[in-house]
A and B are shown apart, each in its own frame.
Chain A
Amino acid sequence: MSKRTVELELATTGVDSQGRPARVPLTARTDSDTGEPDLGGEHLLMNMGPQHPATHGVLRLVVELDGETVVRCIPHVGYLHSGFEKLGEYRHYNQIIPLTDRTDYLSPMSNNVGFALAAEKLMGIEITPRCTVLRVIACEMSRIISHMVWLGTTSIDLGAFTPFLWAFQQREKIYDLQEMWTGARLTTSLTRVGGLLADIPNGFVPKLREFIQAFPKTLAEIDRVLTRNAVWAGRTQGVGTLTAAEAVNYSLSGPMLRASGVPYDVRKDKPYLDYETYDFDVVVGEHGDVYDRYLVRLEECYQSNRILEQALDRLPDGPINVDDPRVILPPKTRAMSDMEAMIFHFKQVMEGVKAPVGEAYVGIENPKGELGNYLVSDGTAKPVRWRIRPPSFINLSSLSKMAEGHLLSDLIAINASVDIVMGEVDR
C-alpha cells in the first residue's frame, strides 16, 4: 500500500479560540440540588443487544461500565446457531453447498468456492482452467460486496450516512451480476464439486467490465469523504489498537491481521486457484487500529478490482466442469436419452459422490479472514466431519481485549471494525 499522509485539523472540544472553556462540562454539576444520584466510582452493568442496530446482527454484549469507560466487555454469541456442521454430516457433498451460502451470507460465492475446493482436494479432483478463473471472479466479486457492506454499515455506525448509499449502490451492481449468473442474489450455491452450477451468461463480461471501470470512481469518492475527515479519523485513529504480536496470538486473520502489520494473505502465501499468477498487492496496515482496518479494506477493494480485470482478460474458453461422470451430473437431455448417462445421474442423486478415506483442509482468503473448510471422510458419500474455520468468530474473540479502557461509543467503532456476520459466527 502506498503510504498516505493524513493531515488533520481537529478542533479541541470544549475550548474556544481563546483557550477558554466554551461550555460547562456536563459532569461538573455534582451538587445535591440536581437530585441525581452520585455514581462516583460505582460500576454499571449494561446489556447491549441481541437486538441492537450497531451490533451487526444478533450479537449480545454485556458491558461493565465505569462512567462511560468500558471496564469489561463480555460477548454472547449463538443466537443464530443453526447447526450447519451437524447438518453437513447427514448430507452429500453437493448438498452441503447450499448450507455454505448461509454461513457468511455477505459473501456467499466465496464460501461456495471454499467448500468446493476442500471437497475436491479430498477427492483429488483437478478443476478445469475456465472454472479456476471463474471462481477467482466469484471470490473477488464477493470481496467487493462484503467490503462495501462493511464500509456502509461502519460509516453509519460512526455517523456518516452518504458513503453507505454509495457503497450499497455498487453492491447492487454486483448483486445484479450474481443474479445473472446463478439466478439468486444472496443464496447463490454457485459451485459444484468439480465445477460450477452454470457458465457465465451472455452479456456478463461486458457488464462486469463496466463495473470495473466505474467502481474505482466510487472508491475515490468514499476515500475523499472519509479518509481525511476529521470526525472519521478522530473516532477511529488509536481506537481498538492491537499490536502485531497480539493479533497473531489471538489468531486473527484477514484485514484484521494485516491492519496490525502482519503481511499474511492466504492468496499469496498458500495460493489456491492460481492466485500466485495474478498481479496484486497485499495490503498491510501499520497501527492496528480501526482507522488502519478501514484503509486496508478500502485498498483491498482496489486490488480486487485489479484481479477482476486480469481474470477477465485471461478467461479461457472450454468446459467449466471436469470430465468425470462420477462427480458431475450429465446434461439433462443426455440423462433422459442415454442409458449410461441415466445410470450415472441416478447413482449420483441417490448415492452421492463417494470420497476416499482421509481428511483435507483448505483455507481461502475470504473477505473477513481465512475461511477454512476441514473435511473428514470415512469412505462414504457423507462427510464424517465438516468443520468451518469461521474467520469472524475468531476475530470477534479479540473484542473484549480491544474494547477494554475505551469509551462506550468507541466500542461501537471497534465492534464494527471486526466485520462480523452472525451467520458465520454462530453457524
Chain B
Amino acid sequence: MIPGAVREAVARDGERVVYIARDRLLEAMTWLKNTPGQEFNYLVDVTAVEFRDRERPIEVVYFLRSLERRADIRIKVELHPVDELAVDSVWSLWHGADWLEREVYDMFGITFRGHPDLRRILMWETYAEGYPLRKSFPLRGRFSRAEQVRQALNANPEAHYSLEELSIAEAGGDLPEDMRDRLRRGERGVIPDPLPPPQSPGSP
C-alpha cells in the first residue's frame, strides 16, 4: 500500500493512477522509489492538468517508471484552486524533475517547495501576464497587443541576466549606477514608463 494514497483509478490506456494526499507526496514518492518490489527509479514526466470545470481541483501528474520491472505508474496530487497551489518538490529524488517542475511552475503557477532554483523557464523572468496554461488565461494573452508590443520595444537589458549570473566576476559592477540601484532593490526588469510627449518649445 502506497503511503498517503487516497484513491486509485485506471486510465483509458490501462495505466494505474494513484491519487496521493498532498502532504504525503514526498513520503509516497520516496517509498515508491526505494521499496524493493516497487523500484520506480525513473521519472518520465511531471505535468499539471486544469479542467474546464472550475470546481474541479488542479491535478499535478507524475509519470513514474521502473526500468528494471518495465512497469509504469501515474501519481496524481489534487490541488484545490482556493488553497495555496504548492506541493513538495521531488528534485531530491530525481534531478530530472528540475526543469519539469520549473515548467509546471511557469505554466500553472504551482510552487514546488524545496526546489533549488524555481524560476520561470519558457517565459522570461519578468513576464507579468500570469500563467499561460491556466484556463483563466485567454489564448491571446492578458495584455492587449499594443501593450505587449510596448513592453517588447522597451525590453529592459537588466532582464537578460539573473542576479546570480551578474554576480559572476562581479559583472554587475560594470552596470550604470541607477541600474545597479534598481537591481539591489530587487526591481528587476521594471519596464520604464513611456517617455512624456515632447513639449513644443513655444509653450510656457
Contacts and interface: CB of A to CB of B under 8 A. Distances in A.
Ranked 8 nearest A-B pairs via Cβ: A251-B96, A358-B12, A78-B122, A397-B99, A360-B13, A45-B168, A389-B45, A45-B171
A374 B45 contact: yes
A189 to B, nearest CB: 22
A206 interface: no
30 contacts: A43-B168, A43-B169, A45-B171, A64-B168, A64-B169, A83-B132, A85-B133, A86-B132, A86-B137, A86-B139, A121-B13, A248-B42, A249-B95, A249-B96, A250-B96, A358-B11, A360-B11, A361-B11, A372-B44, A378-B51, A378-B52, A384-B50, A385-B49, A385-B50, A387-B45, A389-B44, A389-B45, A397-B99, A398-B96, A427-B122
Interface string A71-92: 0101001100101011100100
Given A83-B132, A248-B42, A393 B99 contact: yes
Interface residues on A, range: 35 or more
A122 B12 contact: yes
B42 A77 contact: no
A90 B139 CA distance: 8
Interface of A: 42-45, 47, 62, 64, 72, 74, 77-78, 81, 83, 85-87, 90, 121-122, 124, 248-252, 262, 264, 269-270, 356, 358-363, 370, 372, 374, 376, 378, 384-385, 387, 389, 393-394, 396-398, 401, 426-427
A249 B15 contact: no
Contacts, number: 123
Interface of B: 11-13, 15, 41-45, 47, 49-53, 61, 63, 67, 70, 72, 74, 94-100, 103, 107, 120-124, 132-133, 137, 139, 161-162, 165-166, 168-169, 171
Contact of A394 (B41, B49, B100, B133): B100
Given A43-B168, A269-B70, A361-B63, A378 B53 contact: yes
B44 A251 contact: yes
Contact of B96 (A74, A90, A374, A394): A394
A28 to B, nearest CB: 24
Contacts of B123: 78, 81
A251 B94 contact: yes
Contacts of A427: 122
A78 B124 contact: yes
Nearest to B103: A393
Nearest to B141: A83
Contacts of B72: 270
A361 B70 CA distance: 16
A264 B71 CA distance: 12
Contact of A387 (B12, B41, B47): B47
A17 to B, nearest CB: 41
A90 B70 CA distance: 35
Contact of A384 (B12, B42, B43, B52): B52
Contact of B122 (A62, A250, A251, A426): A426
Best-buried of B15, B45, B132, B139 by chain A (most CB within 10 Å): B45
B121 A270 contact: no
Nearest to A74: B165
B12 A356 contact: yes
Given A74-B165, A77-B121, A86-B133, A360 B12 contact: yes
A78 B95 contact: no
Contacts of B168: 43-45, 64, 72
Nearest to A64: B168
Nearest to A370: B44
A262 B171 CA distance: 42
Contacts of B49: 359, 376, 384-385, 387
Nearest to B96: A251
B15 A397 contact: no
